[in-house]
Amino acid sequence: MKILLCLAVLVAVVYAEIPGMKKACPDKKQPAGDTGCLYYCDDSDTNYGIYNDGSPCDYTGSLDGKCKGGLCYAGPNSKLPDQES
């Protein structure tokens, strides 16, 4: 039963939408100078697409992350908030 519950939660997280927004545009290559993992499309502020996985992004403000599924994740050189300098 626990396995079924975990699977249901995983599926819900993977297919969750951003509230008020809709992924209505294709994945695409990140343009030069863009440091995010999402883009707005169709002249709308509710329709979005994501940049290809592996695109660089600002995890802590220095292009130290990598995009995956529209989210920016820490890269190997990221200084996480709880790490000492």
Distances (CA, A) of 14 to 44, 69, 82: 24, 9, 27
C-beta of residue 48 within 8 angstroms of C-beta of residue 41: yes
In a domain, 41, yes or no: yes
Residue range 22-51: mean pLDDT, rounded: 92
| 28/16: higher pLDDT | 28
Quote the domain boundaries for residue 47: 19-74
Provide the number of structural domains found in the chain.
Answer: 1
In a domain, 30, yes or no: yes
Total-model pTM? 0.66
Q: Supply the pLDDT for residue 62.
A: 85
In a domain, 83, yes or no: no
Residue pLDDT, tens place only, 40-66 = 987 878 999 999 999 999 988 888 999
